[in-house]
Structure 1
Amino acid sequence: MPPQSPATRQTGLPFALGAHLIWGLLPLYLRLVHAVPAVEFVGWRVLFTLPLCALFIAARGQKNELIAALTNWKVLRMLVLSALLIGTNWLVYVMAIQSSHVFAASFGYYLTPLLQVLAGTVFLHERLSALQWAAVLLAGLGVVLLGWGELDMLGVSLAMALSWLCYGFVRKVTPVGSVPGLTIETLVLAPLAVLIVSWFAATPQGSSFGHAAGQSLLIACAGLVTAVPLLFFAIAARRMDFTVLGMLQFVSPTIVFGLGVTVFGKPLDPLQLGSFAIIWTAIALFVWDLLVRRGKAGT
């Protein structure tokens, strides 16, 4: 990947923050559809995302770009992989939230930034300053302390972290626009989604969609809450350094963790509180160093 200019990286920042704000608040939405089985919900999530992607493609006049990506085997192969990764991530996350393992879901996304910084430096040859490395190590300490109380759900957290890390890396190195890329990913998952919702419709309980108007409307909103943040993230991933994008990912799990305490009624112990203090000190150091270096580059 060619190096990103400071101006390009800055244009990606609002999209990254917007994506993580939506993802951080996502458990509130999932709480409203908790009666829908996780596997069925992911199926509907795919199917309601597809028409939105089609609308975006039409509105932005990206039909030719979509066709070009579909006919490029190298690009298509990468997007099939990213589709499987994001589908896995969705399923594990929804299952974790619906089973009240909010902290495990949060911890999974706390692991991701550290893995992402490591991947950016090793595979993309992105460089960190000494202060940034110190911030990463400090954040690592906070994450280890935070995960101490979630060891029983470590498998769930690792599945979420690794699937999201690999998804972000694949989208970073795949030469395709955000909207065409998400459209193809959704197309890849659509046949499986049709099978899933059809199977649930054939069960004695029937489909969760189409009975109660309120619940059906909430399920239909899955397309919106899926497509918008993923598009934001894909734009940011193409414009920002992978390491910087990784450190910003502490935003959404912190919101999720806060919701776990305030909305889902999970107790917050002193160790977890101390872990947050360490992690956010690390983020402050990392961001401060970025601002200082950017200011020097501009003078």
Structure 2
Amino acid sequence: MKQGVLYAAAAYLMWGLLPIYWKVFEKMGAWEILAHRVFWSAVFVVAILQITGKLRNLRKSVSGKKTWATLFISSLIISGNWLIFIWAVNNDHVLESSLGYYINPLLSVLFGVLFLKERLRAGQWIAIGLAAVGVTVMTINYGKVPWVAISLALTFALYGLAKKKVQLESMMSLAWETLFIAPIALVYLLTLQVNGQETVTLLKGWQMALLASAGVATALPLYWFARAAKRLPLSTVGFIQYLSPTISLLLAVFLFHEPFTSTHWLSFGFIWSALLVFSISSLRKQTPQVQQPHAPQPNLALKKKA
């Protein structure tokens, strides 16, 4: 449990700071950045497996059509999540992306109920309702659905659900997810090169080095998230995710100077209220399990020994 919390905190801290990283490449197109991200992630993960002596077991780590299908679907889902996030950061939608990741914990909890048969208290259902009101407020006031926020929340909640379904060692799972998409990414990059449409050449040397490090920036938090997902309930993983959107929100307002209007205050207010209600309800649910009686029961002990 403690290891799971540490892994989740490290993952979400790094994810919260990623907008700074992707802003370095804002002269590039989102698809090209995504292709580089996928390719270098695959290279990094394979290198780690080779160093740790696990690469020879990669093919044997997966068996069964259901596992193969789940891994492939999860790779598509997380790739879509990456693309949307990169586009949002480089098109000044960091604030909306933070809204999406505030919604995601509640969506993860809802998926836990729908697909994993987890049970919620009344307060937790109220929290989900408040979050829905927050999204509705922003939709009505701006006249359009906050698709960046909803898409990010939906794709990452689905990815978290897929990780719970795959019974596979974390690094092996991450390796297959990147290797499925890496060939497509490489073909895309070569096509851009042949047609003279690549924008990576516009970068300076230090920027190219950072881009090649995208594998580290991508694989490490994903690996930590996978480790956390194996050790913690889906609802707990979602709770710790509050760290990531809070960092992104602060970056959007104070570093990237995106406007935070009265509509944002109202919409985020409903979301924050939802998270508060959900947190209180979750803590109250855990209280009876913590306060267990410690009175000695000699008769019961004797019976067990007998």
When normalised by structure 2's length, the TM-score is 0.84
Q: Contact (CA 8 Å) 1:260, 1:266: kept in 2 or not? A: yes
Structure 2: distance between partners of 1:150 and 1:93: 21
Residue 261 (str. 1) matches residue 259 (str. 2): no
53-62 or 238-247: bigger deviation: 53-62
Instruction: Specify whether residues 147 and 64 from structure 1 end up closer, same or farther in structure 2 by C-alpha distance, changes over 3 A only.
Output: farther
Q: What code does the residue aligned with 1:250 have?
A: Y
Quote the offset at 1:295 in angstroms. Answer: 4.7
Residue in structure 2 matching 1:34, options 26, 32, 40: 26
Which amino acid in 1 is paired with 2:16?
G
Letter matched to residue 289 of structure 2? A
Matched residue SS, 1:228:
helix
SS of residue matched to 2:196 = coil
Within 2, Cα distance between the matches of 1:186 and 1:173?
18
Q: How far apart in 1 are the matches of 2:62 and 2:202?
A: 33
Post-superposition shift, 1:211? 6.5
Counterpart amino acid of residue 237 in structure 1? A
1:5 aligns with none
CA shift in 2, pair 1:211/1:280, >3 Å: closer
| In the alignment, structure 1 residue 23 sits paired with structure 2 residue 12 | no
Distance 1:170 1:290 in 2: 23
Q: Offset of 1:276 from its aligned partner? A: 3.6
**1:95-152 CA distance string (max 9 Å, x none):** 1221222233223333323322211112111112233333333444344445555553
- Contiguous gaps of at least 5 residues in structure 2: 293-306
The structure 2 residue matched to 1:67, chosen from 59, 71, 82, is 59
222-231 or 164-173, larger mean C-alpha shift: 164-173
Kept in 2, the 8 Å contact 1:113–1:249? The answer is: yes
Question: Which structure 1 residue ranges, 5 or more long, are not aligned?
Answer: 1-7
Structure 1 runs, 4 residues or longer, greater than 6 Å off:
none
3-state DSSP of counterpart to 1:152: coil
What does residue 299 of structure 2 align with?
A: none
CA contact (8 A) 1:69 1:75 kept: no
Q: Note if 1:270 corresponds to 2:268.
A: no
State the identity %. Answer: 33
Q: What is the identity, as a one-letter code, of the residue corresponding to 1:165?
A: A
Alpha-carbon distance between aligned partners in 1 of 2:248 and 2:203, rounded to the nearest angstrom: 30
In structure 2, the residue matched to 1:226 is 218
Selected match of 1:14 from 3, 6, 14: 6
User: Matched residue of 2:144: which SS?
Assistant: helix
Name the count of aligned residue pairs.
Answer: 291
Aligned counterpart in structure 2 of residue 43 of structure 1, from 10, 17, 35: 35
**SS class of match (1:108):** helix
| Most deviating of 274-283 and 187-196 | 274-283
Q: In structure 1, what is the equivalent of residue 88 of structure 2?
A: 96
1:117 equivalent among 76, 92, 109: 109
Letter in 2 for 1:34: E
Task: Judge conservation of contact 2:74–2:159 (CA < 8 Å) in 1.
Answer: yes
CA 1:146–1:235 in 2, change beyond 3 Å: closer, same or farther? farther
Residue type at the aligned position of 1:14: L
| Aligned counterpart in structure 2 of residue 78 of structure 1, from 62, 70, 75 | 70
**C-alpha displacement at 1:282, in angstroms?**
3.6
Query: In structure 2, what is the Cα distance between the partners aligned to 1:107 and 1:203?
Result: 38
TM-score by length of 1: 0.86
- The DSSP-based 3-state class of the residue aligned with 1:176 is coil
Q: What is the CA distance between 1:297 and its match in structure 2? A: 1.7
Residue from 100, 105, 108 that aligns with 1:108: 100
